[in-house]
Structure 1
Amino acid sequence: MKFKSAFYLLFFFSAFLSFDGVAQNKHTFEIKQGNFLYDGKAIQIHSGEMHYSRIPHQYWRHRMQMLKAMGLNSVATYVFWNHHEILPEQWDFEGDKNLAEYIKIAGEEGLLVVLRPGPYACAEWEFGGYPWWLQNISGMELRRDNPEFLKRTEIYINRLFKEIGHLQITNGGPVIMVQVENEFGSYVSQRKDIPLNEHRSYNAKIKDQLVRAGFNVPLFTSDGTWLFEGGAIDGVLPTANGEGNILNLKKAVDQYHGNKGPYMVAEFYPGWLAHWAEPHPAIDASNIARQTEEYLKNDISFNLYMAHGGTNWGFTSGANYDKKHDIQPDLTSYDYDAPISEAGWATPKFDSLRAVIKKYAQYDIPDIPAPFSTIEIPSIKLTRVGDVLSILEKQKSVQSTTPLTFEQLNQGYGYVLYSRKFNQPISGTLDVSGLRDYAVVYINGEKVGELNRYYNNYTMEIDVPFNSTLEILVENMGRINYGPEIVNNKKGIISPVKINNIEIEGNWEMYTLPMQEAPDLDNIKKNDVFNVPAKTKQLQGKPIIYEGVFDLSEVGDTFLDMENWGKGIVFINGINIGRYWHVGPQQTLFIPGVWLNKGSNKIVIFEQINSELKSEVKTVKTPVLNKLK
């Protein structure tokens, strides 16, 4: 049948891809006569989405081999702008951020690459991929035909091209297609306050920036079929997100692409995203296999979103928005109920997809590569703790008559302590309606309550005695990554604090705690650091830093068990492996074996709630991602 020969040709030709800086064997790829043409032959794209930014670079090749073993011929990846431009024109493309190396490995493994550079990505990633500091630029309006915004997008696109432009198939590399913007039709439908002609003008200018930078492979857009009117661009292939009805897909593409294909579902969802405090979604493997077979039988190209999700390391997880919760922060784990698990394991869903693709393939699908070994650490002793409030209060503060946002403090992520001394007593309702996103409230260092944007909990009763200090430790839980609220993404306290509806002004002090690096208790004054368990009872209820050192005779992947902890973040050997929160459903944090050492290792835990003092923590061999409390 047509599909079998086309699929075979793609694997046959991709086997000749060989990379040494630039590929030695050039091929062609174009959209013509209603087909994807590879070296002039019609082929289908069967891709798996997998983000380099969510996987340690040492595991990239293994995960590519897993895609091949599932029967796929391509890999798709977003590029997250904020992952690379840390501050204005301060770029990082090294190590786990080495996109060019990721693309080269894909080519070496016989995979073609579909690149999704945004500049907006979504993807449950912090701020949808936008750098936080854009919000500090005067006159900036995100995601619209705005000179300040388009100036910054052009700088990003040009710098990205410098990094990976030579890896396009036109230069002998594996990159066959590049996406323009992302799900823009959805945004158009949600921002009816902006004229449609301005939306279209903006989208066309992003396309022009990509072309001017030097991207010369076929371009495409990606939207729900019912949203093509707002997201489609003349001369650019529209592809569909989440479309299971093949007739609808063909009808929509034909309408916006000259009554002809090719037809591609650019986001085919075998799993779904997960939020804190909500059940982890699960999608039935048999349903996914049946839908895949429908695509295979009808010559529909597709991209599994996600084929392998990975992990939102550090502060990279984003958030969604709805009126019920105001914010829905995404988990640290980006397992996504994908065919390849967070730790790179084949799942029953993987087996189902592999089996259905095998029915149609006239070639040998490679064996499934072995997973990396796992270990269990029964006990990691925590030997020292640090008093975070005391530590912060000894640092230099920023003073203002009103609370300042993270952005005004030139801080992107982490925490800020807001402190206000009262010379006279005051009591009543504390109102922090401008909280973004989570806070623990203290009076004279003693915890008196929590405020939480997820639960729309912005008020509490408070009693501040004479000559006392009110402290509010605020956490940024991830900027919104989808929808119209993406333009309202400042963090910290963004409006006046009130007590009994009276604005509390004057003498606010702010202490920054960005946690860009692991705190080092050796650099802290001894009277703020205590041995465990001696003298630590006085720290109960305060935010503290735990520290422990442990030795390993062997290394392997493992999962840190945080089920009995409160809320915070964890560093392993200086690497922030992400957030935990007792509400679940995620109760473990993935630790890649490549981040552990034979011999000495160090763990640092920042615990915000600290309702019960700890002396040890352990790891387990299997993750817990679906246990709500």
Structure 2
Amino acid sequence: MTGLGLRIAACALGAALSLALSSAPALASPRFAIEGDRFMLDGKPHLIRSGEMHYPRIPREFWRERLRQARAMGLNTVTTYVFWNLHEPEPGQFDFSGNLDIAAFIRTAQEEGLDVIVRPGPYICTELDFGGFPAWLLRTPGLRVRSMDPRFLAAGERYLRRVHRELAPLLSSRGGPILMMQIENEYGSYGRDRDYMRTAQRQMIDAGFDVPLFTSDGAGPHYFEGGPLPGVTAVINFDGEVDDAKSSFEALRKFRPNGPRMVGEYWAGWFDHWGEQHHTTPPQRAASTVEWFLQNKISFNLYMFHGGTSFGWLPGANYSREMPYQPDTTSYDYDSPVDEAGRITPKYRALREVIGRHLESGETLPPIAEPAVATIAIPRFELRESVSLLDALPVLSRPVKAELPRSMEALDQNYGFVLYRNTVPADASGKLVIDEVRDYATVLGDGKPLGTLDRRFGERELDVALKPGTRLDLLVENMGRINFGARLDEERKGITRSVRVGATELFDWTHYPLPLTDLSRLHYSQRSQPRTDPAFWRGQFTLDRTGNTFLDTRGWGKGHVWVNGHHLGRYWKIGPQQTLLVPAPWLRQGRNEVVVLDVDGGATARHLQGLADPVYETAADALKPGKR
């Protein structure tokens, strides 16, 4: 036998032993199975009525309430992704604590009478930075995700085995609530590598996931070419009305005549990009389509049932023919049946009414679980203290020197900003050319703002008069790595190539990595005159009682907000999102502290207030280059 043959035989033996060991504690007759065209639960035909919600996008204190709301709407299952980028923020360093305790989330669902579908990826999309991949994968030159690259496969295998350690007791093969699990995610929208998909399937089995597996793809022949696997249940994703549902299942039936019918994602709403319109969909559209599913015994998963919030640095980005880069907003409300603050919407009531007409014999709906925590207004308060970001560099960052500008990943940094510093040489003149900005650059000369470059419009040049000896600072913000499509592997951030002034390329750079994970050492001062440079602003407000609130950022430019140390996320005057959700558990009775990093420098307000409802407004010129 050749060396390759020995390795293949050894791998096959190892896989068989792994599968046997992982299956050892399994029940003789698992509670969930797929038989022909039907899902079977406890030996009876079963229709899955699922809704999607993601544990990291919901403060843990609200998990049980949201799950009760799902049950009261008539759902019998919840679906969640697993967020690799959060669970393994650095190679081999895993975190399943606090808001990342997925096992606790699933146990809570079980206690509330819900089963669970788990989608561990490793790729999950979900409008998440890099599609849920940890950014440190990009530190390896040439690594290709979603491929047979052995470096990627090894990292993904380690992650899946670690997830299995958390979830093993909760699998339906052991009597737990996890009915089935998804292989990869919408691979048919990305590639055609069958070897990779078979490897993804094998890695899940080898990790010990001995529940039924399925694939999920868009509804059409061009998606079916790469995503579904022989012998594995295929479910489909789409939005629209009843006619769209009919045509989608006709396409699936032509491709896969047998097997249960299920919508892996029925898009009951949609997400938002900065600078574009806020999305809403009529409640009756979702209700009538779900009724058609129920009438035709089609299982479904509402994406999303409750979207929640992409706090901090979580949001990803897309691209299109018209726009080379489309960053996602902080809010992931998704026009869901339960809104971002956990409130019941007309869409919820319409869906509950429909589902209530199609319950199983003996089944009843629990009472609606109205939010226990109210949304509150907070009177206007001033932010009177500030510190320039440039002055704060010594306490925020350790400088790194290099001949050429380094990407964020080359600086071992995952999220945030990088400030690139240089001095304009004597022989340089002409336009500033940055090749290229990932994703938004604020250009400063001797500390004074000179302009911005925005990747959304492919901007790389700034027509400024830079004199020799000018200190040039380029503050570059990572606004979220692309999470969908063929450009995943290209998503390194910061300045990815070179910087020129006219024909002169600049060398010998000083880099200031700014992940902004700790702002406690900032030293603020009172400032009476307005400032135009990027700066941190601090203010306080006092509460007699806590509640969810929407922080009104209108009047500010572009930046980030922290409340009592919790990073709410990004704001931007171009909209459509003009408020940031502050969850009640992050507030406290008495004094609360707010810190705002405003990089725009031209804000008309230095105050904030909390509103009882969100505000969505898109600036009329948001999609026009140079009109920011």
Deviations 1:219-263 (A, max 9, x none): 000002321221111221000011655554555544555x32310
Residues 562 and 580 of structure 1 are in contact (CA less than 8 Å); yes or no, is this contact kept in structure 2? Answer: yes
Q: Distance in 2 between matches of 1:414 and 1:171?
A: 42
SS of residue paired to 1:241: strand
- Alignment of structure 1 residues 213-612 onto 2, 5 Å: 213-226=207-220, 227-242=223-238, 245=244, 248-254=247-253, 257=256, 259-361=257-359, 362=361, 363-371=363-371, 372-392=373-393, 396-424=398-426, 426-504=428-506, 506-517=507-518, 519-520=519-520, 523-524=521-522, 529-531=524-526, 533-534=527-528, 536-537=529-530, 540-612=531-603
Corresponding residue for residue 5 of structure 1: none
Residues 279 and 628 of structure 1 are in contact (CA less than 8 Å); yes or no, is this contact kept in structure 2? Answer: no
Q: Distance in 2 between matches of 1:615 and 1:555?
A: 23
**Identity value in percent:** 41
SS of residue paired to 1:87: coil
Deviation at 1:298, TM superposition (A): 0.4
Corresponding residue for residue 10 of structure 2: none
Corresponding residue for residue 64 of structure 2: 61
Q: Distance in 2 between matches of 1:292 and 1:267?
A: 12
Residues 224 and 242 of structure 1 are in contact (CA less than 8 Å); yes or no, is this contact kept in structure 2? Answer: yes
Question: When the two structures are superposed, what TM-score results if normalisation uses the length of structure 2?
Answer: 0.90
Question: When the two structures are superposed, what TM-score results if normalisation uses the length of structure 1?
Answer: 0.90
Residues 261 and 298 of structure 2 are in contact (CA less than 8 Å); yes or no, is this contact kept in structure 1? Answer: yes
Residues 223 and 240 of structure 1 are in contact (CA less than 8 Å); yes or no, is this contact kept in structure 2? Answer: yes
Q: Distance in 2 between matches of 1:466 and 1:91?
A: 49
What is the letter of the counterpart of residue 388 of structure 1?
Answer: L
Residues 425 and 464 of structure 1 are in contact (CA less than 8 Å); yes or no, is this contact kept in structure 2? Answer: no
Q: Provide closer, same or farther for how the CA distance between residues 470 and 187 of structure 1 changes in structure 2, counting only shifts above 3 A.
A: same
Q: Does 2:108 align with 1:108?
A: no
Corresponding residue for residue 206 of structure 2: 212
Range 320-329 or range 84-93, more displaced: 320-329
Deviations 1:428-459 (A, max 9, x none): 21111310000110100001101100122221
Q: Distance in 2 between matches of 1:323 and 1:64?
A: 39
Q: Distance in 1 between matches of 2:566 and 2:286?
A: 36
What is the letter of the counterpart of residue 238 of structure 1?
Answer: A
What is the letter of the counterpart of residue 515 of structure 1?
Answer: L
Q: Distance in 2 between matches of 1:311 and 1:151?
A: 31
Range 458-467 or range 290-299, more displaced: 458-467
Deviation at 1:596, TM superposition (A): 0.5
Corresponding residue for residue 47 of structure 1: 50
Residues 78 and 121 of structure 1 are in contact (CA less than 8 Å); yes or no, is this contact kept in structure 2? Answer: yes
Deviation at 1:139, TM superposition (A): 5.0
What is the letter of the counterpart of residue 106 of structure 1?
Answer: A
Corresponding residue for residue 623 of structure 2: none
Residues 219 and 249 of structure 2 are in contact (CA less than 8 Å); yes or no, is this contact kept in structure 1? Answer: no
Deviation at 1:278, TM superposition (A): 0.1
Counterpart among 92, 95, 115 of residue 92 in structure 1: 95
Deviations 1:515-549 (A, max 9, x none): 123x12xx346xxx321x43x43xx2101101123
Q: Distance in 2 between matches of 1:599 and 1:292?
A: 46
Q: Distance in 1 between matches of 2:418 and 2:238?
A: 39
Q: Distance in 1 between matches of 2:604 and 2:146?
A: 46
Range 613-622 or range 583-592, more displaced: 613-622
SS of residue paired to 2:355: helix
Q: Does 2:127 align with 1:119?
A: no
